[in-house]
Structure 1
Amino acid sequence: MDSALWTPTDADLAEARVTEFARFVEQRHEVELPDYEALWRWSTIELESFWRAVWDFFEVRSSSTPTTVLVERSMPGAHWFPGTQLNYVDQVIRHMRPGRAAIVHAREDGSTRTVTWEEMIDQAGALAGSLADAGVGRGDRVVGYLPNVPEAVIAFLATASLGAVWSACGQDYSASAALDRLGQLEPTALITADGYVYGGKFRDKAADVDALTAGLPTLRLVVTVGEASGNAVSWADATAQSRQLSPAAVPFDHPLWVVFSSGTTGLPKGIVHGHGGVVLEHLKSVVLHSDLGPEDVFFWYTSPSWMMWNFQVAGLLAGSTIVCADGNPAFPAPDALWDIAGRLGVTYLGTSPGYVLACMKADTHPGSDHDLAALRAVGITGSAMPATSSIWLSENIGAHVPVFSISGGTDVVSAFAGGARTAPVWAGELSVPFLGVALDAFDEAGNSVRGTVGELVVTEPMPSMPLYFWNDADGSRYRDAYFDTYPGIWRHGDWITVTDRRSVVVHGRSDSTLNRNGIRMGSADIYQAVESLDEVTEALVLGIELPDGGYWMPLFVVVPGGATDELRERIESVIRTQASPRHVPDDVIATPAIPHTRTGKKLEVPLKRLFQGATAAGTLDASAVDDAAALAWFVDRATEFQRVQRAR
C-alpha cells in the first residue's frame, strides 16, 4: 500500500512523549533530530548515550548515579550499568496517587473490581512480609499459577521488592504442564487460585493446585486466592498484616523474572531477565512508543503465561491504570474486548490478529456499538497482521486511531519493531524499528538486504536481552539459540522485509520457512490470503521435504461448512492472486481445528517434523498445546502419511 493508513497530525507530532524525549536529547547532545528516523539512527549509533538519556529522562531511581553505561559492546556478553543498584518496584511506587485506580479487573459477567494505588502497594507490602516470614529472600523463586487477576500483579511486585525472582503461568495449563515450567525453578513459594471463570463457567483448579504443590517439594509457603485448602494460606490472611513496601536495592542485572518459551519441544526454556534491563526497555516501550502516561488506561488481553502480561504490567511504570481480564475474549459476544474498552475508557487496547479476524467474520461494529471515544491507539501482536485486518480496524474504530502492530518476543520481553506516535502507519506493516534496536534483515551470507525477505537480526546489544537461560551453566544453549548463524549478531528466527521507508513486514518464523524449488516463502503471506475468505476460520500450511528429494506443501483449513471442490478452487485462486502462484499449495485439506501453543502460535515446526517421520513423544509436549483433540488429528494424519511413504 503506497498511501499511509494513518498519519500523525501536527498535534501528535508536537505532543507525543517521544517528541519530548527527542528535544531532551537534542539539548543534551547538541544534535538535530527532525523526525523519528533521525532519532532511531542516533539511538543505535550512539548506543550508550541513548540508554543513558533514557535513564535520565525518566529519572530512574537508583542507589547511586551511574558512571558507566556499557562494558563490552558485544553479543553475548554486554554488561550494562555496572555497579548500579535499583529495583523495578521503586519505579512503580513513585506513581502512587491516593484514590486513583492502579488495576481494574474486568470480569466476563460485565462486573469490575478496582484496586487503587494505595491498595495495590499496601497488599504488596503485606504479602512481601509474609513471604519474608516464610524465609523468601534475595534470589529465591516465587511462582504463580494464576489467572489474569490483580493478585498476580501484586504477587509479582511483592516478590520483586524482596529481590526474589518471579515466574508464572496461567491456570489453563494442566498441573503437569505447569510443573514442566515452574518445577525447574525449585521455588520457595507458590501463589495460586482455586480456579477461574471462562466462557461463563467456573473452572475448578483445586485438584491441579494439589498436584502442583505435591510436585514442588521446595515450597515453604502456598498462598491461595479464593478458597484455600490443606496447608495453604488464604490471600486475605497473607495480606492481613500491614507492612511497608520497601524495595531492596539489587544490581542492575539481578534476576527479576523467568519467562518460558512455548515449550512445544522438550522442557520449556526458562529465559531470565534483569531488573535494570526490563525497567529501561519497558519505560522506552510503553512511554516513548505506546505514548502512555498517568492518565491512560492500558488494556492488553493476555495471560500470565505470555510475555505480554509482563509488558502490560509495565503500564504501572508509566503511572497508567492497567486492566486485567481473565475470561474468554469472545464471551458473551464476539466483541467482548471492545465492550470492556468502551465501559472502562481504555485509551490503549492490545489484542491479536486472530481476534480481529474473528470480529471481522462475526460482522461486529466496534466503533458504532461501543463508546470508544477515549481510545487513542490499538496494539496488535502474536502473529503477522494482514493488511485487510488493518484496513477493517481503521474503518471500524475510526481512521483517527492508529493501529500499531508490534513484533518482538519472550526473548527480550519487548518488541523489536512497531509503532510510534510520530510515524505513519501502513496497512500490513510495522511502522518503525524500536528505539535502541539495531534491527536489520540479513541474507544467508550475512549481507543486509532491503525490499526482499531476510532474517530478522539485531546488530547491537539491548539491555533486556536475556541474562542467561535457566539451567544453562556454560551458556551454550543461549549462544546456540541466537548466535549460531551470524557470530556476534542476534538472529531472532523471523523472516522479515525491511522496506525502503524502514517499515517492517513480518512473514513468519524462518525455522518453518516454505522452500519450494529453491524459492523461500513465509507462511504469513498464505494465511493473510486464505483467512480473508469468510468460509475459512483458520489455516495452517506446512512445507515438507521428502526423503526422495520431493517437496509437499499441504494447506490445512478449518471450514465449518465443509471444504467443497468449489471452495478449494477459490482458496487456490485467492492465494494465487494475493500472494503468488508459487504460494499455491499442493493440497487443500479440511481439518476440524488447528492446534496452537498456549500463547496462540500455530505449531508449524512440530507438525512439519511429525510429517517427516518424527515421533509425537519426541517432537512436542502435548500439555503445552491448547487443543489435544486437534493435535491428535494431526498425529493420525502424519502417521498415515508416513505409512503411505514407506509403501512406495
Structure 2
Amino acid sequence: MVDEGTLVWEPTPEVAARARLTRYLAAVGRAGRPYEDVWAWSVTEPAAFWTSIWEYFGVLGDPGEGPVLAGEMPDARWFAGASLNYAENALRERPGTAVVFADEDGGRRELSWARLREEVARVRAGLVRLGVTRGDRVAGYLPNIPEALVAFLATASLGAIWSAGSPDFGVPSVVDRFTQIAPKVLIAVDGYRYAGKSFDRTEAVAEIAAALPSLRATVWVPRLSGEHDPTRAGVPWAELRAHEGPLEFERVPFGHPLWILYSSGTTGLPKPIVHGHGGVVLEHLKSLSFHQDLGEGDVFFWYTTTGWMMWNYLVGALLVGAVPVLYDGAPTDLWRLAADEGVTYFGVGAPYILASMKAGERPGGLERLRGIGSTGSPLPPEGFAWVADVLPGVPLGSFSGGTDVCTGFVGATPLHPVRAGIIPCRSLGAAVAAFDPAGRPVTGEVGELVLTQPMPSMPVMFWNDPGGERYRDSYFDVYPGVWRHGDWIRVDDDGSCVIYGRSDSTLNRGGVRMGTSEFYRVVERFPEIADSLVIDTGQLGQEGRLLLYVTLADGAALTDDLRSALRTALRGELSPRHVPDEIRVVPGIPRTLSGKKLEVPVRKILLGTPVEQAANPDAMANPEVLRHFTP
C-alpha cells in the first residue's frame, strides 16, 4: 500500500534548467515565476497567452488582424482572419529521421523528413486525381502504419478533412461513423495482424464501401499480402502514390476542419467531433513541448491505434520536430520496443503500467528515457511507486483529457515533483475547476471537472449539427456557459489534481459519494484479481445494491478467504458503506476499443435495459463478455 501524495520524483536544477518550459518562460518575461502564477495568466489572459504560443513557435501562417478571442463558450471563436495549414507546420524541412515504424513481427521502417515530404506530395497528387478538394472528407480504415500518417498529412495539405477508424472496429461501428460524414475516398487495408494472428478485412471493407454512397474511390493498402490483388475493385496504394507532385499547402481559416474524431459510441450513435487546424496546431505545440518536454532530438512513443485520439496526439510530435514511433500489433513487450528505438518519452494506458507491475517486470536498456506518460484511466499510487522503483530518475506524468479536445486538461511538467496518485498541475491554457452541484468552485473537495474559459482545441462543431444543439447538450447542459466534462476531480490549493472517474458512474452509498477509481485501487491490488468493475444500482431517492465483478488472474479462484479479504480491505480503506453486497466472477471486464471500462452501460443492463440496447458491441473491445452482466 502506497500513501497518496508520497513523493516519488523531483526535478533536479539541471532538469529544470534544460526544460523547454523554462526557455519559454524566459522568452515571455516570466522566468522564475511559480507555475501557478503562469497558469493563472494563461487562463485569465488567453489572448496574450495563445498569441505568445503562435509567436514563440513561429507558426507558419498569417495570424490575421481580427481579435484573438471573440465571444464566450459555447460560441467562442479564435484568431479571426488567421490562415494556416496543419500539414505545412508538421512538414517543415528538417534533417534526419522523421518517423519510425515497427510491428509485432519485427518489421521496421524509417522515413527521413525528405522521404516523408515526398510521400505526402505523391499521395496528395493521387488524391487530387481522385477529385479530392478542400472540405472533402477522406476516411481511413487503417492500423497505425506510415501509410495512415502519409494519407492524413496529404489530406490536410489540401484543406480536406481526415477521419479514421482502426481495422479492428467492426463493420457496423465504422458505418455508424463514416456514414455521418459522407467521405469521398476510403483508404483501407486488406487486413492486419494482432497477437500472432492474421485478420482478413477485405469483406469488411467491401461492406463499408457499399454503405457509403458518397464514395468516389476505395484505395487498398496491402498489409497482409504485401501486394495488391488485381481482381479487387479499387485503386491500389501504389497507383495512388505513383506520380510525383508538388508539395503545396492550402492555407485555411483557423477553425477550418482538420479531422473528425468520434465519441466512443457505446450507448448511441458516436458524436462526430470536429477540430480545426489552428486549435490543434497551437494546443499540440504547447502541450507536447511544455508538458511532455518534447522537441528536436526526441523520440516519442504512445501505444495507440488510429481509432483513439492518442494517435492524433502522437503524430503531433512532427510539429515540434520530434520523431513519432508508430507501432502496429499487440502490446507484448513495449518496454523492449522503447529500448530498441531509443525512446525518450514513453506513453501507455494506465492498465499497461499496472499489468507490468503485477507481472514483476523490470524494464532495462532505457538509458535515453526522460519521461513516461499514463492516460486513459486513473493510475493508482502503486503505479507511480512501481515506476519510481524500476526506473529511478524517470518522472511519470499522469494526464487526463479527452477526445473532445484531443489533449489533456491536467497533467505534468518537468518542473513539478511527482507524488504518488497525484496529477501535478492543470495544463497551461486550460481553465480547469471543480464545481459543486450548485455551480460553485470548490478546492480540496471532489466536484465536477469543468472548464470556465475556452480552449482553442475545443470542437469547432459536431458534424451534421448545423444549429449546434447536439454540441451544447453534450457539454453545456448543466452549467450554462461552462464546459462540463463528465469526470470527478479534486483540485487542491497548489493546483494539483486527482481524477476519480466518470461522474455519471459514481458510487453514492449512504450519502458518501466516491469515484470508482478509489474502489479499483483497493481491489486490483490483490494478485488474484486481474481486472474489476464495480456498479452501484442505486437510483435517485433509493439505495440499490453494490455489485463487484472480478476477472481472476491465471490459476486463481474466488475462495471464501479471498471474498473475506476483499470485503475487509474495502471496509477498512474506503468505508463500511462500500463493502459490496455481492462479488461475482466474470470472464472479462467490458471495455471500449480505447480501453475504458464500461460502467454506465453495465449499470443500465442491471437496471433492466436489454443488453443489445445498453451498448453497441462494435464499439467494444470484448462485446462477448456483456452477457455475463445481468440482473
TM-score higher than 0.5 here? yes
2:296 maps to 294
Contact preservation (8 Å) 1:80, 1:463: yes
Q: What do residues 76-135 of structure 1 show as CA deviations (whole Å, max 9, x unaligned)?
A: 0111000111000111121432xx221111111233111221121111111111111111
1:84 maps to 82
Task: Give the Cα separation in 2 of the matches to 1:107 and 1:64.
Answer: 40
- Aligned counterpart in structure 2 of residue 626 of structure 1, from 618, 621, 631: 621
1:304 maps to 306
1:354 is aligned to 2:356: no
Query: After the TM superposition, which of the residue ranges 231-240 and 532-541 deviates more from structure 2?
Result: 231-240
* RMSD, matched Cα: 1.4
Q: What do residues 383-423 of structure 1 show as CA deviations (whole Å, max 9, x unaligned)?
A: 0001001100111122x110000000000010000000111
- Aligned counterpart in structure 2 of residue 172 of structure 1, from 159, 168, 180: 168
Task: State the SS of the aligned residue for 1:96.
Answer: coil
1:141-156 correspondence runs (5 A):
141-156=137-152
Task: State the SS of the aligned residue for 1:472.
Answer: coil
Task: Give the Cα separation in 2 of the matches to 1:214 and 1:159.
Answer: 22
Which amino acid letter does the alignment assign opposite residue 265 of structure 1? Answer: T
- Aligned counterpart in structure 1 of residue 374 of structure 2, from 380, 400, 409: 380
Evaluate the alpha carbon distance shift between residue 208 and residue 498 of structure 1 in structure 2; reply closer, same or farther with a 3 A threshold. same
- Aligned counterpart in structure 1 of residue 19 of structure 2, from 16, 19, 23: 16
Q: What do residues 8-37 of structure 1 show as CA deviations (whole Å, max 9, x unaligned)?
A: 1101221111111111111xxxx6652222
1:645 maps to none
- Aligned counterpart in structure 2 of residue 571 of structure 1, from 561, 566, 577: 566
2:577 maps to 582
Task: State the SS of the aligned residue for 1:545.
Answer: coil
Evaluate the alpha carbon distance shift between residue 64 and residue 570 of structure 1 in structure 2; reply closer, same or farther with a 3 A threshold. closer
Which amino acid letter does the alignment assign opposite residue 164 of structure 1? Answer: A
1:62 maps to 61
Displacement of 1:548: 8.9
Contact preservation (8 Å) 2:63, 2:79: no
Task: State the SS of the aligned residue for 1:537.
Answer: strand
Displacement of 1:431: 0.6
Contact preservation (8 Å) 2:64, 2:80: no
Displacement of 1:65: 4.8
Query: After the TM superposition, which of the residue ranges 112-121 and 449-458 deviates more from structure 2?
Result: 112-121
Which amino acid letter does the alignment assign opposite residue 107 of structure 1? Answer: D
Task: Give the Cα separation in 2 of the matches to 1:613 and 1:392.
Answer: 41
2:362 maps to 365
TM-score by length of 2: 0.96
Which amino acid letter does the alignment assign opposite residue 131 of structure 1? Answer: L
TM-score by length of 1: 0.94
Evaluate the alpha carbon distance shift between residue 33 and residue 45 of structure 1 in structure 2; reply closer, same or farther with a 3 A threshold. farther
- Aligned counterpart in structure 1 of residue 428 of structure 2, from 435, 443, 453: 435
2:547 maps to 554
1:604 is aligned to 2:595: no
1:27-42 correspondence runs (5 A):
34-42=33-41
- Aligned counterpart in structure 1 of residue 396 of structure 2, from 382, 400, 403: 403
- Aligned counterpart in structure 2 of residue 594 of structure 1, from 589, 592, 597: 589
Displacement of 1:580: 3.2
Task: State the SS of the aligned residue for 2:499.
Answer: strand
Contact preservation (8 Å) 2:101, 2:145: yes
Contact preservation (8 Å) 1:131, 1:221: no
Task: State the SS of the aligned residue for 1:462.
Answer: coil
Contact preservation (8 Å) 1:576, 1:583: yes
Contact preservation (8 Å) 2:169, 2:618: yes
1:43-442 correspondence runs (5 A):
43-63=42-62, 65-72=64-71, 74-97=72-95, 100-226=96-222, 227-229=227-229, 230-330=232-332, 336-366=333-363, 370-398=364-392, 400-442=393-435
Task: Give the Cα separation in 2 of the matches to 1:66 and 1:262.
Answer: 38
Contact preservation (8 Å) 2:8, 2:388: yes
> After TM superposition, what 4+ stretches of structure 1 lie above 6 angstroms from structure 2?
none
Evaluate the alpha carbon distance shift between residue 419 and residue 58 of structure 1 in structure 2; reply closer, same or farther with a 3 A threshold. same
Q: What do residues 314-362 of structure 1 show as CA deviations (whole Å, max 9, x unaligned)?
A: 00001111111111002xxxxx000000000000000011111111122
Q: What do residues 49-71 of structure 1 show as CA deviations (whole Å, max 9, x unaligned)?
A: 00000010001111455553111
Which amino acid letter does the alignment assign opposite residue 516 of structure 1? Answer: R
Which amino acid letter does the alignment assign opposite residue 405 of structure 1? Answer: S
2:538 maps to 545
Which amino acid letter does the alignment assign opposite residue 336 of structure 2? Answer: D
Which amino acid letter does the alignment assign opposite residue 443 of structure 1? Answer: D
Contact preservation (8 Å) 2:164, 2:306: yes
Contact preservation (8 Å) 2:410, 2:426: yes
Which amino acid letter does the alignment assign opposite residue 190 of structure 1? Answer: L
Task: Give the Cα separation in 2 of the matches to 1:517 and 1:262.
Answer: 32
Percent sequence identity over matched residues?
A: 46
Contact preservation (8 Å) 2:611, 2:627: no
Contact preservation (8 Å) 1:95, 1:319: no
1:490-501 correspondence runs (5 A):
490-501=483-494
Task: Give the Cα separation in 1 of the matches to 2:13 and 2:494.
Answer: 20
Contact preservation (8 Å) 1:33, 1:39: no
Task: Give the Cα separation in 1 of the matches to 2:5 and 2:537.
Answer: 35
Q: How many residues align?
A: 620
Task: Give the Cα separation in 2 of the matches to 1:64 and 1:24.
Answer: 19
Q: Give the gaps of 5 or more residues in structure 1.
A: 331-335, 642-648
Displacement of 1:228: 3.6
Contact preservation (8 Å) 2:445, 2:491: yes
Task: Give the Cα separation in 2 of the matches to 1:512 and 1:95.
Answer: 48
Contact preservation (8 Å) 2:546, 2:578: no
Task: State the SS of the aligned residue for 1:551.
Answer: coil
